[in-house]
């Protein structure tokens, strides 16, 4: 029940924000914990699915993805949710469409069970096991940390060396996850469509496998994609930088 205890602590500390689901009450039983949360109407995954269906129905020849005007709106709202956490030195570590929900029209974050608060004297943490959902996990969440960044220029790079690295996570890990979600909205697919989990994992951490960025009719979104999906976390944009890009 460690995850629930962590979530309760996080939600209580964020009780005054409008961008995180509100915890009304909780009760601990011998074998489980009850949480009473705000009721959400829907999540972003369902919104994206419905928008993509609408596009394919009304414009059969249109490229897959969410209409760019809607992408700009939802992207801005997602960034504002994550900014609340990052300003409080909290890294979510499991950002995905299902964990963004609407409560009376306001987009909010949920599922902070594996979230971590950064100590005041550092910007990164070192968990002992990988955390997150594979499709949205950053290279460093899979073990590709500073060492794999150094190996990015090594033509003899071997994915087996990643197992020797230490997990090193921070706010930029959330930025990668946001980038994957933006990629799905814009292109209607994930940046790593490999069939198996193992091949997808290796694709995410492989510094020699380029990520494809087809042209986008919105310079700000295109720039955000390129600045979010960078394998070296030190080169990724911060949430404040992403908010400063022009998306009109």
Catalytic residues: 94
Using CA atoms, how far residue 206 sits from 1, 9, 149, 157, in Å, is 35, 36, 10, 8
Residue 146 CA to residue 63 CA, distance in Å, equals: 37
Please give the DSSP secondary-structure letter assigned to residue 104: T
- In sequence order, the 6+-apart residues with CB closer than 8 A to the CB of 114 are 3, 6, 93, 94, 131, 132
Q: Residue 76 phi/psi, 5° resolution?
A: -60, -45
User: Are the beta carbons of 112 and 6 closer than 8 angstroms?
Assistant: yes
Residue 238 CA to residue 244 CA, distance in Å, equals: 10
Token pair, residue 190, equals: 């994930």
SS3 at position 7: helix
Q: At what angle do helices 44-58 and 68-87 cross, to 10 degrees?
A: 170
Residue 171 CA to residue 83 CA, distance in Å, equals: 10
Tell me the H-state helices in the chain: 2-13, 44-58, 68-87, 146-150, 171-187, 197-205, 219-228, 239-244
Residue at token pair 């292109």:
187
């Amino acid at each position: 029940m460690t995850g629930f205890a962590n979530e309760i602590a996080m939600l209580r500390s964020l009780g005054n924000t409008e961008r995180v689901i509100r915890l009304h009450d909780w009760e601990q039983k011998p074998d489980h914990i009850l949480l009473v949360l705000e009721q959400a109407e829907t999540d972003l995954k369902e919104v994206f699915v419905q928008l993509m269906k609408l596009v394919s129905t009304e414009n059969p020849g249109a490229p897959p993805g969410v209409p760019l005007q809607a992408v700009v709106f939802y992207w801005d709202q997602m960034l504002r949710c994550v900014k609340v956490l990052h300003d409080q030195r909290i890294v979510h570590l499991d950002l995905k469409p299902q964990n963004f929900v609407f409560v009376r029209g306001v987009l909010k974050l949920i599922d902070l069970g594996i979230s971590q608060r950064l100590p005041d004297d550092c910007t990164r943490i070192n968990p002992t096991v990988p955390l997150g959902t594979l499709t949205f996990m950053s290279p460093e969440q899979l073990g590709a940390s500073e060492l794999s960044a150094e190996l990015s220029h090594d033509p003899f790079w071997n994915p087996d060396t990643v197992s020797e690295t230490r997990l090193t996570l921070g706010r930029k890990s959330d930025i990668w996850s946001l980038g994957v979600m933006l990629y799905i909205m814009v292109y209607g697919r994930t940046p790593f469509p490999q069939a198996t989990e193992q091949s997808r994992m290796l694709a995410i951490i492989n510094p020699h496998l380029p990520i494809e960025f087809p042209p986008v009719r919105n310079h700000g979104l295109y720039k955000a994609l390129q600045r979010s999906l960078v394998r070296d976390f030190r080169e990724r944009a911060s949430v404040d930088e992403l908010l400063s890009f022009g998306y009109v």
